[in-house]
Amino acid sequence: MSARATTRPGGRSARVQQSVHQAVRDLEAEVGRDALTVPLIAARAGVTPSTVYRRWGDLRELLSDVAVERLRPDGPPADHGSLRADLEAWAVQFAEEMASTVGRTYIRDALLGDPEQGNAVRCSDYAAEQLKAIGVRAAGRGEGVPDVETLMDVLVAPLMYRILFRPSDLSEAYTDWLVASALGRGAAPSAAKS
């Protein structure tokens, strides 16, 4: 995300962001992605095109900003009673969401409209925050917890890499195995390049 898109909640800037994002989502559903233009979006949002250009730079950067908002988790990860169960459930859901057609589109949008990588970092931080929350909960139960950067390497990175570069069967057996690896045990099944 460019510095232009920073907002204070509740201010005019936040209202503009909200209405422009909403316009993108609505128009994407109505006319399709390929028909989106800045003037069309601005008209629907009730702002001038120059407001959009000034704030987001161009259509690609705007789509990247919208994508990152959509990739933001809705709430804290579900509590299944143990670190392993929480990580397994989180990994299944993460893999499903990110590997879906919509998820892939958002990931690409987030990466590609973002020459300074701020949006990609936000996506990565969303995952890290969820894993941190799972870890804090596990530590509260007295469980030993791998550090977050290790979880990013062992659990998140292979899923995102396979989604972007290496079409694979991201089955529950595979995500369970990643979790087992992250927890320091488990022998590898073949990692399922499809």
For a second copy, the closer of residues 14 and 139 by Cβ is: 139
Q: Per-residue string for binding with a second copy, 86-125, x by CB under 8 A? A: ----------------------x--xx----x--xx-xx-
Which residues 6+ apart lie within 8 Å of 138 measured at CB? 82, 83, 86, 145
For a second copy, the closer of residues 26 and 116 by Cβ is: 116
Q: What angle do CA 77, 80, 85 make, to 5 degrees?
A: 95
How big is the site for a second copy, counted in residues (CB under 8 A)? 31
Interface pick for a second copy out of 156, 170, 180, 183 (rule CB under 8 A):
156
Interface pick for a second copy out of 166, 172, 173, 186 (rule CB under 8 A):
166
Q: How far is CA 43 from CA 17, 69, 85, 131, 193, in A?
A: 14, 21, 47, 40, 45
Residue among 25, 85, 109 at smallest CA distance from 17:
25
Length of the chain: 194
78 touching a second copy, by CB under 8 A: no
Query: With the C-alpha atoms ordered 56, 57, 60, 64, is the resulting torsion angle positive or negative?
Result: negative
What the block records as the tokens of 43 is 């008209």
For a second copy, the closer of residues 22 and 105 by Cβ is: 105
192 touching a second copy, by CB under 8 A: yes
For a second copy, the closer of residues 82 and 117 by Cβ is: 117
For a second copy, the closer of residues 42 and 168 by Cβ is: 168
State in angstroms the smallest separation of the CB of 158 from a second copy: 4
Interface pick for a second copy out of 22, 152, 171, 176 (rule CB under 8 A):
152
Which residues 6+ apart lie within 8 Å of 165 measured at CB? none
Asked if 56 and 5 touch (Cβ cutoff 8 Å), the reply is yes
- Say how far residue 148 (Cα) sits from the centre of its chain: 17
Question: Which residues are near a second copy by CB under 8 A?
Answer: 108, 111-112, 117, 120-121, 123-124, 146-147, 149-150, 152-154, 156-158, 160-162, 164-167, 178, 188, 190-193
